[in-house]
Chains A and B, each alone.
Chain A
Amino acid sequence: MPYKIHVAYIVPDTRADVKKRYIENLGIVKKLNNLVLVDAYTIDQQLSKLSLSKIAQIITDPDSETYTINEPLAPKKFDWVIEIGFLPGVTDNIGTTARETIEDILETRLNGQGVYSSQLLFLSGSLTKPLVKQIAESLYNPLIQRAYIKSFNEFNRDRGMDNIVPEVRIQKKPHVLSIDLKVNDDELEKIGKLGIKNVDGTRRGPLALDLEALKIIRDYFNKKGRKPTDIELESLAQTWSEHCKHTIFADPIDEIENGLFKTFIKGATDKIRKHKGKSDFCVSVFTDNSGAIIFDDEYLITDKVETHNSPSALDPFGGAITGIGGVNRDTLGFGLAAKPIINKYGYCFAYPWDSEPLFRDSERKQKMLPPKRILEGVIDGVRVGGNNSGIPTPQGFMFFDKRYKGKPLVFVGTVGLIPRKVGNHVAFKKKAESGDYIVMIGGKVGQDGIHGATFSSESLNTSSPASAVQIGDPITQKKLSDAVVKEARDAELFNSITDNGAGGLSSSVCEMARESGGCVVNLEKVPLKYPGLDPWQIWISESQERMTLSVPQKKWRKIADLFSRRGVEATVIGKFTASGKCEIFYNKKRIMNIDMDFLHDGRPIKRQASLTFFTHFKEPKLKEEKNFNNTIISMLKRPNIASFMFISQQYDHEVQAGSVLKPLQGKGLVNSDATVTRPVLTSQKGVILSYGINPYYSDIDTYHMAACAIDTAIRNVICSGAHLDHFALLDNFCWSSSDSPERLFQLKKATQACYDYAVQYGTPFISGKDSMFNDFKGYDKNGDFIKISVPPTLLISGIGVIPDVSKTISLDLKFPGDSLYILGETFDELGASEYFHMLSEHARDDSIGNSVPKVNAQKNKSTYSIVSHAINKGLIASAISVHRGGLVIALLKTAMAGMLGINVSLHNIPGKVTNNHQALFSESQGRIIVSISPSSEKEFQKIVKNIPHKKIGTVSKNSRVMIRGVNNKKIVDLNIKDALNAYRETFAGY
């Protein structure tokens, strides 16, 4: 019989107030009379009464909480109660902490998970059961959680909620299958598409191996004279997958024999590095888990950006937190382990006010989460992942388009810091040596993430583990991270390290085995969350918070002792060898024996062909307008422009004490385009970060889309004081239907632009990642089939090093009387702009125009270099990059940030514009607005005389934004406070 301890607040419980407001805002019920929260701990262990009351006493704070043991704890009056707990096998962090605390106090070990947390919500109000059901649905996620509802009478009759222990129980015994591949092509295809057939006839989920690959595998095992085992097939499928091998980017396409990645991305970097010669700052690019550049004589900085899209659609919180946790481990897994110093985020969402439901099945039983819950869950996940690990999260963005409704894009990135040398070792190099122990550290292994996308809702309500989605455990990872990066690395206790992410052990061990030339693994040694896992599941499980280390045998005792003192589980699971083979044993039986060469390089190469593809859009009708005040207010409220202060303020951006330029700048707290951090507190050097993303432009031309993303990422850091000399890029492609020739054409054009512009700017790519199938296939509210594909999306992230952070500048206007200048040229480039999107939404058509902004890198480069120079000389008081929304939005942002008015004329600005619409909203690249103090103006004018520039006005004392248009007539007269209110309105309630 399990025990249940209930804990409730006796002081005001704000969590309950907030939940009450949340429920009242759902529109299901107008008013709740009361809501009370009670936390419950279900303990599945034989304990004495004394121990139980000791436990209850210690987990309760006597000043603020009260408890009951095995007795319900409920308010005197309520109408309904909802209990929400986890499904079997889902990470329960609160339960785990409770278990560890209990173990520490009782000085005994509990079996298995031992303690399970849940929460009870007591509701008072005029509610019917269906309404309460609806409320419950908005509070829990059926993929990871369970909810039970009882009425007041039922609760009293049953003396509380039922005692449920969500323990994983797997009835079957672990076993290994051999798979017959000597079958007809139909059956072979089925194995690839639906997965290996279990003994009971069910399929395990797609291997994503096509016929050609399966035939190569069949031939390989034919030559060996045996059938492959299930673990061998699963392992090959993992290693050869798009996810691991990036086949679309790697394989030949059209005339490009070496593939897009080698030709255009790595090709650009190679060329730039060669050109830079001695001033090359790249150190380790495209080879390790992150890319690394020089920081100073002592340190390197690393950077990596990942996406975690599909999991975030199913469980936004879990998907996002495991995403950020994973990319933190990509930092730990760089070289001999880098320390995570900055987290970054980027979200592409559907509009949160879109309430049209989507379903995964035609019967409309499996409802997708609505965009608002995805948004909230993802934001929460990245917050907990970063804040709880003590990694600042200053940098990020949100971008909205209805085509992200089926698959949101969740970009997560981490910057790391690593000494250039650890003892006598060059720290960015690592090599597992033959004879080293394979050591797995961190969490235990469950069925998490195995064939993630393939599951049915039926299987989730039984005692089978919820394997599709997972929740991260930041504290387990923090312990692991600290032990590795603050102690084990500097004591030189391991030779190599890699993250267990996609593909789990299969991927990390085989990757490291390449360094030594082979491996032998004993899978039964792997610590499990619960018994009953098949060997193939242990091998490819994606359970979180794990790293694989290569530890010299003579250092094992020392590292084992360290990890044990730091509360980190570490297990020897095998040895690295030089045998040329990957061998796996399970209880002494050999179940896998594949040549390393075949495993890594046996994959068939695919020849891809693209098809030229452009869409022509209608041009919107532009009316002559005398006054743009209301239009500008509407633009400021656009979700792609509006303030997302609510995210910046809930993400700790100041931990580690290196914050220099923050995510919110100026008195008006305007979201910034670049942030600066000082990672080494004894040095004045800084790391500057920025991004550029323009998915709208993809509809017209992906070449210019990519060019603009690069130009924007560069321009954003230039405005804060960075120099192009020490600046690198990262690429993240999120495409859809990527095997279609049209999409391949768009991909080819985008990567071509990446090459052209990276080379021209001299900014090398140091790391990148792609996610090629962001398509949702499901059903709409009528049960009709619907496919939603994301627009081709390229995130360019920028990272640079600044010699002296005290020379950087922020985007806010500083003092009245300062002069305002525009640098760079404006053209009629409103195609696919935010403004045209607004107009086309009003007109309910697709008139987004065709004149997409084009980048003149040579011109822009001189502007940027002059701005860097002027900032370095201290001549510029503020600078802001002109991008989404055009000139007027940039002017308003810099004014709102300074809470100062401006008096500006757009008459004869550099470039060529035909009307006020273009002057105000065109998204021409390469433009920067700066403010200059009167005493610096002369010197500034001298410096900018050879680049396109114009003084457009001054900063005024009053709080009005006055703008005269191309004919020098007044077209804008806005109060700065009204503008700020509009800018903050859209996400004010979030």
Chain B
Amino acid sequence: MKKPIGIILSGYGLNCEEETAHAFQIAGAQAEIVHINDLIKGLVKLDKYQIMAFPGGFSYGDDLGSGKAYALKFKNHLQKDLDRFSQRDTLIIGICNGFQILTHLNLLTGTLTFNTSARYLDRWVDLKIESESPWLRNIKTLSCPIAHGEGRFHANKKILKDLKQNKMIAARYYNGEMSALYNLDPNPNGSLDNIAGITDRTGRILGIMPHPERAMYFTQLPHWTYLKEKLIRKSVKNKRNLPTYGPGLKIFKNAVSYFL
């Protein structure tokens, strides 16, 4: 089978493109990092890709509101290409700043605004997966980190109803392993109905505030040294046999298997 090809957007302060590309690669995809200006100039065409990722970062420093300026630039120059891309049987993911961009591109509904603490926060959260999106197939729960200042999901009643009715709520924060272990509030930012991620109607477009690519390896877990000791003591003759990957990789693998 031919590997699907993913485009990972970059430029103007996006900054998670390298690790996001790496996650797709170890999941079995081809991944190419492309600067938005090279798309605008037509040096690269969206047509050859099956997967598009808007990675995390700080596009335009969040200056006019997170994700807004990058989305404006994208819409202004690439709306038609984007429409063509999303109408094909493709997958799109926006992580963190990428999620914020997707809402401003009107590919997803709702708004991401300042955390209730009004402060940037890097910590691990637990997610309960509720959607049948191809991105999330066979995932029930998932722990990975958030790192944002504007991740509080907000939507008006109409949008929320639509999200619920059409099963577009992808993931909610819940009191799982990490919140219990570190005695932290399960909802890290005051998101409406604990919403951490949503999809479009088809489920092919996913926006998610937490970073699955920061949970792709075992040694990224905050308690991996504890798990290691536990494994060693359980195993015969103290043999170390540590897992290589972390739970976040599954999302990228799901994207790859969608095309296989």
Residues of chain A having any CB pair with chain B under 8 Å: 9, 11-15, 17-18, 58-59, 61, 63-65, 93-94, 96-98, 100-101, 104-105, 383, 387-390, 473-475, 478-479, 482, 565-567, 648-657, 659-662, 664-667, 669, 678, 681, 805-806, 808-810, 812, 814-815, 874, 877-878, 933, 935-936
In the complex, what distance in Å separates the CA atom of A478 from the CA atom of B60? 10
Closest residue on chain A to residue B116 by CB atoms: A14
B220 at the A/B interface (Cβ < 8 Å)?
Answer: yes
CB distance from A528 to the nearest CB of B (A): 23
CB distance from A633 to the nearest CB of B (A): 20
- Of the A-B pairs whose beta carbons lie under 8 Å apart in the complex, a sample of 16, sorted by A's number, is A58-B72, A64-B111, A97-B69, A475-B61, A478-B15, A479-B12, A648-B122, A650-B119, A656-B16, A656-B19, A657-B22, A657-B214, A667-B183, A681-B19, A874-B232, A933-B229
CB distance from B55 to the nearest CB of A (A): 10
In the complex, what distance in Å separates the CA atom of A11 from the CA atom of B110? 11
Interface positions, chain B 100-118, Cβ under 8 Å from A, are: 104, 110-111, 113-118
* B213 lies within 8 A of A657 (CB): yes
Residues of chain A contacted by B240 (CB below 8 angstroms):
806, 874
Residues of chain A contacted by B19 (CB below 8 angstroms):
655-657, 681
* A681 lies within 8 A of B22 (CB): yes
* B242 lies within 8 A of A806 (CB): yes
For the A-B complex with A650-B120, A810-B226 known, give 10 more contacts whose Cβ atoms are closer than 8 Å.
A11-B111, A14-B117, A14-B152, A61-B104, A97-B64, A655-B19, A657-B220, A809-B225, A810-B225, A935-B238
Interface positions, chain B 12-50, Cβ under 8 Å from A, are: 12-13, 15-16, 18-19, 22-23, 35, 37-38, 41
Closest residue on chain B to residue A394 by CB atoms: B122
Q: Identify which of B23, B38, B152 contacts A565 (C-beta below 8 A).
A: B38
Take A654-B214, A655-B15 as given contacts and tell me if A18 and B117 are in contact as well, using a CB distance cutoff of 8 Å.
Answer: yes
* B18 lies within 8 A of A94 (CB): no
* A874 lies within 8 A of B122 (CB): no
* B63 lies within 8 A of A97 (CB): yes
In the complex, what distance in Å separates the CA atom of A664 from the CA atom of B38? 40
Interface positions, chain B 39-78, Cβ under 8 Å from A, are: 41, 56-58, 60-65, 68-69, 72-73, 76
Residues of chain A contacted by B183 (CB below 8 angstroms):
667
* B182 lies within 8 A of A667 (CB): yes
CB distance from B27 to the nearest CB of A (A): 13
Q: Identify which of A63, A105, A656, A661 contacts B110 (C-beta below 8 A).
A: A63
* A806 lies within 8 A of B238 (CB): no
In the complex, what distance in Å separates the CA atom of A89 from the CA atom of B68? 26
In the complex, what distance in Å separates the CA atom of A59 from the CA atom of B116? 23
Closest residue on chain A to residue B219 by CB atoms: A660
B211 at the A/B interface (Cβ < 8 Å)?
Answer: yes
* B58 lies within 8 A of A388 (CB): yes
CB distance from A278 to the nearest CB of B (A): 31
Residues of chain A contacted by B111 (CB below 8 angstroms):
11, 61, 63-64
* B37 lies within 8 A of A14 (CB): no
In the complex, what distance in Å separates the CA atom of A471 from the CA atom of B240? 50
B136 at the A/B interface (Cβ < 8 Å)?
Answer: no
* B57 lies within 8 A of A64 (CB): no
* B113 lies within 8 A of A11 (CB): yes
Take A14-B190, A656-B19 as given contacts and tell me if A390 and B41 are in contact as well, using a CB distance cutoff of 8 Å.
Answer: no
In the complex, what distance in Å separates the CA atom of A479 from the CA atom of B35? 11
* A94 lies within 8 A of B63 (CB): yes
* B147 lies within 8 A of A100 (CB): no
* B104 lies within 8 A of A390 (CB): no
Which of B11, B15, B41, B119 has the largest count of A CB atoms less than 10 A from its CB?
Answer: B15
B161 at the A/B interface (Cβ < 8 Å)?
Answer: no
* A14 lies within 8 A of B64 (CB): no
Residues of chain B contacted by A65 (CB below 8 angstroms):
65
Residues of chain A contacted by B218 (CB below 8 angstroms):
806
* B64 lies within 8 A of A482 (CB): no
* B154 lies within 8 A of A11 (CB): yes
Which of B11, B159, B230 has the largest count of A CB atoms less than 10 A from its CB?
Answer: B11
Residues of chain A contacted by B220 (CB below 8 angstroms):
654, 657, 659-660
In the complex, what distance in Å separates the CA atom of A390 from the CA atom of B68? 18
Q: Identify which of A474, A567, A667 contacts B58 (C-beta below 8 A).
A: A474
* B147 lies within 8 A of A388 (CB): no
In the complex, what distance in Å separates the CA atom of A672 from the CA atom of B122? 16
* A478 lies within 8 A of B13 (CB): yes
Which of B56, B64, B147, B181 has the largest count of A CB atoms less than 10 A from its CB?
Answer: B64
* B229 lies within 8 A of A815 (CB): yes
**Total A-B residue pairs with C-beta atoms closer than 8 Å?**
191
B165 at the A/B interface (Cβ < 8 Å)?
Answer: no
Residues of chain B having any CB pair with chain A under 8 Å: 10-13, 15-16, 18-19, 22-23, 35, 37-38, 41, 56-58, 60-65, 68-69, 72-73, 76, 104, 110-111, 113-123, 145, 147, 152, 154-156, 159, 181-183, 190, 211, 213-214, 216-220, 222-223, 225-226, 228-230, 232-233, 238, 240, 242
Closest residue on chain A to residue B190 by CB atoms: A14
CB distance from B77 to the nearest CB of A (A): 8
Residues of chain B contacted by A651 (CB below 8 angstroms):
122
Closest residue on chain A to residue B183 by CB atoms: A667
Residues of chain B contacted by A655 (CB below 8 angstroms):
15-16, 19, 56, 147, 214
Residues of chain B contacted by A96 (CB below 8 angstroms):
63
CB distance from A262 to the nearest CB of B (A): 40
In the complex, what distance in Å separates the CA atom of A63 from the CA atom of B154? 9
Residues of chain A contacted by B61 (CB below 8 angstroms):
93, 97, 388, 473-475
In the complex, what distance in Å separates the CA atom of A474 from the CA atom of B233? 47
CB distance from B18 to the nearest CB of A (A): 7
CB distance from B90 to the nearest CB of A (A): 25
* B68 lies within 8 A of A61 (CB): yes
Residues of chain A contacted by B216 (CB below 8 angstroms):
657
* A105 lies within 8 A of B214 (CB): no
* B113 lies within 8 A of A14 (CB): yes
* B60 lies within 8 A of A97 (CB): yes
CB distance from B146 to the nearest CB of A (A): 10
CB distance from A129 to the nearest CB of B (A): 28
* B38 lies within 8 A of A475 (CB): no
Closest residue on chain A to residue B59 by CB atoms: A475
Closest 9 CB pairs of A and B: A390-B15, A97-B63, A657-B19, A18-B118, A810-B225, A14-B114, A388-B58, A475-B61, A64-B111
Residues of chain A contacted by B230 (CB below 8 angstroms):
814
Residues of chain A contacted by B58 (CB below 8 angstroms):
387-390, 474-475, 478
Residues of chain A contacted by B60 (CB below 8 angstroms):
97, 100-101, 475
In the complex, what distance in Å separates the CA atom of A565 from the CA atom of B115? 34
* A101 lies within 8 A of B64 (CB): yes
Residues of chain B contacted by A59 (CB below 8 angstroms):
64, 68
Closest residue on chain B to residue A41 by CB atoms: B64
CB distance from A6 to the nearest CB of B (A): 14
* B122 lies within 8 A of A649 (CB): yes
CB distance from B163 to the nearest CB of A (A): 13
In the complex, what distance in Å separates the CA atom of A566 from the CA atom of B38? 9
CB distance from B250 to the nearest CB of A (A): 16
* B76 lies within 8 A of A105 (CB): yes
CB distance from A118 to the nearest CB of B (A): 14
Closest residue on chain A to residue B55 by CB atoms: A390
CB distance from B43 to the nearest CB of A (A): 8
Residues of chain B contacted by A877 (CB below 8 angstroms):
229
* A649 lies within 8 A of B113 (CB): no
* A567 lies within 8 A of B37 (CB): yes
Closest residue on chain B to residue A667 by CB atoms: B181
In the complex, what distance in Å separates the CA atom of A406 from the CA atom of B92? 53
Closest residue on chain B to residue A980 by CB atoms: B183
* A383 lies within 8 A of B120 (CB): yes
CB distance from B192 to the nearest CB of A (A): 10
In the complex, what distance in Å separates the CA atom of A874 from the CA atom of B239? 10
* B123 lies within 8 A of A649 (CB): yes
CB distance from B245 to the nearest CB of A (A): 12
CB distance from A879 to the nearest CB of B (A): 11
Which of A58, A389, A657, A665 has the largest count of B CB atoms less than 10 A from its CB?
Answer: A657
CB distance from B110 to the nearest CB of A (A): 7
* A98 lies within 8 A of B63 (CB): yes
In the complex, what distance in Å separates the CA atom of A681 from the CA atom of B18? 10
